[in-house]
Chains A and B, each alone.
Chain A
Amino acid sequence: DAGVIQSPRHEVTEMGQEVTLRCKPISGHDYLFWYRQTMMRGLELLIYFNNNVPIDDSGMPEDRFSAKMPNASFSTLKIQPSEPRDSAVYFCASSDRTVNQPQHFGDGTRLSIL
Chain B
Amino acid sequence: GIQVEQSPPDLILQEGANSTLRCNFSDSVNNLQWFHQNPWGQLINLFYIPSGTKQNGRLSATTVATERYSLLYISSSQTTDSGVYFCAGPANDYKLSFGAGTTVTVRA
Contact partner of B41 (CB less than 8 A), chosen from A102, A104, A110, is: A110
Cβ of B25 < 8 Å from any Cβ of A?
no
Within 8 A of B (CB), among A69-108: 89, 91, 93, 98-105, 107-108
In the bound assembly, the distance between CA atoms of A86 and B94 in angstroms comes to: 24
- Do the beta carbons of B45 and A99 come within 8 Å of each other? no
- Do the beta carbons of A103 and B33 come within 8 Å of each other? yes
In the bound assembly, the distance between CA atoms of A99 and B31 in angstroms comes to: 9
Q: Dominant SS at the A interface?
A: strand
Contact with B along A21-49 (1 / 0, CB 8 A): 00000000001000000000011010010
In the bound assembly, the distance between CA atoms of A91 and B46 in angstroms comes to: 17
Q: Which A residues are CB-close (under 8 A) to B86?
A: 43
In the bound assembly, the distance between CA atoms of A42 and B86 in angstroms comes to: 11
- Do the beta carbons of B45 and A108 come within 8 Å of each other? no
CB closest chain-A residue, reference B45: A102
- Do the beta carbons of B41 and A99 come within 8 Å of each other? no
In the bound assembly, the distance between CA atoms of A42 and B30 in angstroms comes to: 23
Cβ of B96 < 8 Å from any Cβ of A?
yes
CB closest chain-A residue, reference B94: A99
- Do the beta carbons of B43 and A108 come within 8 Å of each other? yes
Known: A102-B48, A108-B41, A108-B42. A31 touches B94 (CB 8 A): yes
| Extra pairs beyond A42-B101, A110-B41 (12, CB < 8 Å) | A31-B94, A55-B94, A56-B95, A89-B41, A99-B94, A100-B31, A102-B45, A103-B33, A105-B42, A105-B44, A105-B45, A107-B41
